[in-house]
Every structure is written in structure tokens, then in C-alpha cells.
Amino acid sequence: MRARGAIRYLAVMPSSAEHPRVIVALDFPDPGRALEFVGQLDPRHCRVKVGKELFTRGGPMMVERLVSTGYDVFLDLKFHDIPNTVARACVAAAELGVWMLNVHALGGRKMMEGAREALEALPGKRPLLIAVTVLTSLGDEDIHEVGMAGTAADNVLRLARVARRAGADGVVCSPREVKALRQTQGRDFCLVTPGIRPRGAATGDQKRIMSPGEAVAAGSDYLVVGRPITEAPDPLAALQAIQGEIDTQIAATQ
């Protein structure tokens, strides 16, 4: 039954050429290197993620520069604070023109509801609001060490339910939890998955990982990929290889 559900999901998803599924993580120590790198890619074929290090060094101008060159930007700052502070931060991010932003689901339902309401009040198209569940660097032992009961997967499913009730558009999760989330939350809930490693690539500090094809087969909407592309001798070729694997997986299920 699960395999058939995954096939039905993939059958309605467009190819990566029509709808870029890869979000390239721009984990660079300075804005100049990041901008030089994105010049090797094409905004028609991928989206980009700006995280804490790059945003701290490059600030809002870095995001605005990427947006002005045509890239859909996922602002990955994982806001987690009192509801009013997070709501105002989300509005500030939206005003930069970002396509997607995230908050920590552990901030609670009221915090996420406040963020969604603040974004809904803005004129024009709002960015996607995505909740972080459990970081992909954390395994079950890490979860237990900080006092959380159950497995990492258990907590992902629980936090996703809270995020959905709060009005979030989807969650960031490990690809290992995608199939269960797709079954419980349906096809209209956006699933963003880091921890993507092409077969044979180093795992780095990620613990709950999958290949691009496996993640898409499970039901991932967007795949966050960093070092396998940014550290590749030919980043564009690495991106195209991942896109090819995604499209092959989609075509095999149609």
C-alpha cells in the first residue's frame, strides 16, 4: 500500500526542468564566494538556501542580491522566539522577497500561528512558511539526551502535526520520515528534506540521509543539497546529475 501511495504522488509532480526541486545550500564563509558560485549555476534549474553563516556575514543585502538575479531564496534562519518577535522577523524576511522561510516547530503552536497570521496580512504573494522538526544531524540518542521521549521519527511526526494545525505550509524533515509524513499529512503539505547525498558521497555530519531518487520516491517536494554540489569540481554538472536522478525516478513511476 505504501509503495502505491508514493507512486500516485510522483505521478502528479512535474519534472525538475519545469519545477526546480533542488535547493542548493550556499554554505560559504563570505558573500563574495557565494555570489561567485551562483554565477556558475542557473536560477531556472535550482533554488538557493541562505543560512545563518552567510546571512550573518552578508546580511539582507545578500538575500536581495540573489533575489534580484532571479533566484528563489529559502531563508534558513530557523526563527525560534516568543510569538511576536518571530512574527516580526518573518515579516522582515518576506519584505526581502524570499520564496521560503522557516521557524522551529519547537517554538510551539502559538508562535507558528503568529508567524502565519503576520505573513497572511502582507500584500501580494507571501513566502512559504516551513517548520523545522528535528535536525537531520540528530539521532535517537541525541533526542534522548535532551529529554525528549520516543525516537527522532516519533518527534518529527508529532511536531509536523502541530505545525499543520498552526497553518504552516510544510516542514523540514529527514528523508527517512518523508513517507510517513506523506501518508499522514497528504499531498498538499510541503516536505523539504536536507540530508540528501548522491550515492557514494560522504555523509558529513548528517545522520538520517537518502539519495535524491530515494527521497523523491518517498514523497519529498524539495531537496536541500550542499557540499555534493558546492564542493564538486563542476557544480553545474553535479546539479544536473542530481536532477537527472530525480527525473529518472519520476519517469519510472509514471
Please count the CA atoms within 13 angstroms of the CA of 239 that sit on its side-chain side: 25
Q: Which residues are catalytic, by number?
A: 78
2 has pLDDT over 60: no
Among candidates 155, 100, 89, which has minimal Cα distance to 128? 100
CA distance 165 to 110: 10
Residue-level pLDDT at 19: 83
232 has pLDDT over 90: yes
pLDDT tens by residue, 192-228: 998 786 655 544 544 446 888 888 988 999 999 999 9
253 has pLDDT over 60: yes
Under the banding of pLDDT at 50, 70 and 90, the label for residue 8 is very low
pLDDT tens by residue, 150-167: 998 999 999 999 999 999
The helix or strand, by DSSP H or E, that contains position 48, with its residue range, turns out to be: strand 47-50
User: What percentage of the chain carries pLDDT values higher than 70?
Assistant: 87
Average pLDDT, the chain: 88
| In the block, residue with C-alpha cell 535536525 | 135
Q: What is the mean pLDDT of residues 177-193?
A: 94
| In the block, residue with C-alpha cell 505504501 | 2
CA distance 170 to 97: 19
CA distance 185 to 118: 24
pTM beyond cutoff 0.85: yes
Strand partners, 131: 103, 171
Find out whether 172 and 129 touch, Cβ atoms under 8 Å.
Answer: no
Q: What is the mean pLDDT of residues 155-182?
A: 94
Residue-level pLDDT at 210: 80
> 173: Cβ–Cβ under 8 A, 6 or more apart, which residues?
133, 134, 156, 160, 181, 191, 192, 193
pLDDT tens by residue, 79-136: 999 999 999 999 999 999 999 999 999 999 999 999 999 999 999 999 999 999 988 7
